[in-house]
Structure formats: C-alpha cells, structure tokens
Amino acid sequence: MRKLEELLRDNILRLSPYSCARNEYSGHSATVLLDANENPYNNPYNRYPDPLQQELKNVMAKLKGVSPEQICFGNGSDEIIDLLFRCFCRPGVDNVVAIEPTYGMYRVCADINDVEYRPVRLDDNFQLDADRLLNACDANTKLIWICSPNNPTGNLIDSGMIEKVVSAFDGIVVIDEAYTDFSRSVPFRLKLAKFPNIVVLNTMSKAWGCAGIRLGMAFAQKEIIDIFNKVKYPYNINVLTQRYAMDALKDSFRVEKWINTIVEERGRMVAAFRALPVCRKIYPTDANFFLAKMDDAQAIYDYLVRKGIIVRNRTNVCMCENCLRVTIGTKSENNELLAALRQY
C-alpha cells in the first residue's frame, strides 16, 4: 500500500477541519452549555448531537468485533461512498475500478465527483477475476469497489479473489458488506489488521430493519477513519438516529430471528420460482434477495405493478437482461407474489 499521504488529495491532506463547539471541551463534563448558540429550551432536541457518536461507536464496536476508533458512521452508506471519493480522488485526474454489475451508487458518486469510473465485468457466474480487475488499474487508480454479497446479483464474491486484489493493489479496496449478515462468510472487517488498505462498509438498513434511520458505517484502520472524521460534516448523524440505533442494538437476538426467518423464506421462494413456467434461472444468493431470469422481465414487472406488487426490474443492468430482483418479504407478502405469478 502506498503511504496514506500519497493516496489522499492534496487539499484534504492540508485541510483544517471545522472545529465543533462540542469537540473543544471533549473529555470534560459540563452542565451549562452556552457555546453553540443553541436554544436553551426543548431538551434534549435543542442540543447538537455528538459529532463523533462515541457512545454509539462503543456499543457497535463490541457487536462488530472492532475498536471504536475503527468506525465511521454515515448518513446511510451512500454518505461514506461519496466521502471516499472526496478524500482520495482528484476530479478529472484519478480513477476508480469496480466490478460490474454492482451497486449503482459507486458510478453515480464517481460522476458527481468527476472521477473516471472503470467497470470490469464479472464472469458468467458473477465472480471476479483478480488479474482482470488489477489490469484495469493504473498509477491514478485510487479505489477499487467490490460488493459482496453483490447487488443486484446476490452472490458472495470469492474471498480468495478479493484477498488477491487487496494484496496486489497499492491503493484502497472498498468492500461493501451491506448484505453480509444473510451469509455465512467471515466479514472482512475482522481482517483489518491483516489488510490495512481495506475499507469495509456495512449498514443498519438490511438485517437490522432500520433503513428509515439512515445509518451506514465504515470499518478501517484508525488513520483512515481520522481522515473521514476530518472531512465529514460535523453533525452528520442526528440525535434521533443515534438514539434509535442504541435501542435497536440492545435487541440483537430479535435481529437473529429475523435473519433466520428471511434465510428460510429465501430458500422457499427460490424453490417456488424455479417451478414457475416463466422463470428460466435463479442465480445463487447469499443476500435477502435473489436475481431471477424470466421469459419477459418487463412484461412480468408491468403485470405485477398492476397487481400492486413491486419488485425490481434489472433488465437494463449489464449482464442482467430479463432479470427481476426480488426482495424477501414476509411469508404473506411472498405468497401474494407467488400467487400472482402462478396466474400470469
């Protein structure tokens, strides 16, 4: 890995971060807060939230098997995705490499930040070839994006191939593990000591059922997290999100039940879809959704919309022609979908 100073944009390296009122007295207790121009009424919502979410990080760190200093929270994972571009990629100069097909926000953020985006197609089994991915890189490649389990395909990317990329690349490899709770894989966040150049993304939107609170997270070496904390907006995670997340994290057993139920339903739905006359193929999945190749994805999608049932039509995504992406719902929701398709 190149030195962090060589990977960062020069202006980010020189940046003096905004100093929050709450940061300046950090480490001391206080009962009279007259420093941040807040309204003294309507406690606790009149106060700015902890800019570094320390209490939440302490709880999350124990759950995820990392240290609090290795966590950065974002307003959804999308904030952290954008943050990576802003920290490491010089607009109009640097580039990033990503597997294809994959999560669309990587390309969108590249376009927003005026950074060249280099997609490398997966093979017919939606697996990456490490050499092909690395061959797409050059001296100005700062980031490689790998989503595993991948979206929209649902499959785990071979961990050996990922490690080969990480070991050979001298920049930052971003491993998006938004759906890892639905798989049996060992998460890469537990390999931070072995691979100092990885940034691992996760979220409370999927397994934790908290998409509405918008809490994404990045796990990385402290030196990288320090950069994120310098660049991110000071109060990016609001009080309501922090409080709800703290309450949710107290009930991990309930989440385990949800995961087990979803995985069980996933198996039932995949088997049922395979029996549908309009379904050609189901791709392997380790997520809370599956990708199904259909006879005519657009016609089936339109039919389901008329029935009030919404799935995701991915037919215009590279390598996903005539494919629908189906999220696992409750048993009754899944049955409604199957009943509609059996009548198609």
Residue-wise DSSP of 42-95: STTTTSPPPTT-HHHHHHHHHHHTS-GGGEEEESSHHHHHHHHHHHH--TTT-E
Residue 267 near residue 127, CB atoms below 8 Å: no
pLDDT of residue 19: 84
Q: What is the pLDDT of residue 21?
A: 74
Does 24 score more than 90 pLDDT?
A: no
Token duo for residue 344: 């198609």
Euclidean distance between CA atoms 217 and 55, whole angstroms: 15
Per DSSP, helices labelled H in the chain are 4-7, 10-14, 21-24, 54-64, 77-88, 105-112, 130-135, 159-168, 222-231, 239-249, 252-274, 297-306, 331-342
Residue 238, judged by CB atoms within 10 A of its CB (0-12, 13-18, 19+), counts as middle
Average pLDDT score over residue span 290-303: 98
Question: Is pLDDT of 323 > 80?
Answer: yes
* DSSP letter string, 45-60: TTSPPPTT-HHHHHHH
pLDDT (0 to 100) of residue 317: 97
| Distance separating alpha carbons of residues 124 and 285, to the nearest angstrom | 15
Residue 27, pLDDT above cutoff 70? no
pLDDT band at 26 (very low <50, low <70, confident <90, very high): low
Find where tokens 């009930």 sit.
Answer: 251
Residue 1's pLDDT is what? 86
Q: Any bridge partners for residue 74, and if so which?
A: 216
Q: Taking a C-beta distance cutoff of 8 angstroms, is the pair 149, 156 a contact?
A: yes
pTM value? 0.96
pLDDT higher than threshold 90 for residue 25: no
What's the confidence (pLDDT) of residue 269? Answer: 98
Average pLDDT of the chain to the nearest whole number: 96
Query: 72 pairs with which residues across the strands?
Result: 218
pLDDT reported for residue 220: 98
For residue 29, the model assigns a pLDDT of 76
The pLDDT tens digits for 127-150 are 999 999 999 999 999 999 999 999
119 pLDDT tier (thresholds 50, 70, 90)? very high
Q: Is the pLDDT of residue 22 over 90?
A: no
Would you state the structure tokens that stand for residue 122, as one six-digit string?
């997966």
The mean pLDDT of 277-287, rounded to a whole number, is 98
Strands lying side by side in the sheet with 71-74? 71-74, 216-219, 198-203, 172-176, 141-147, 95-100, 116-121
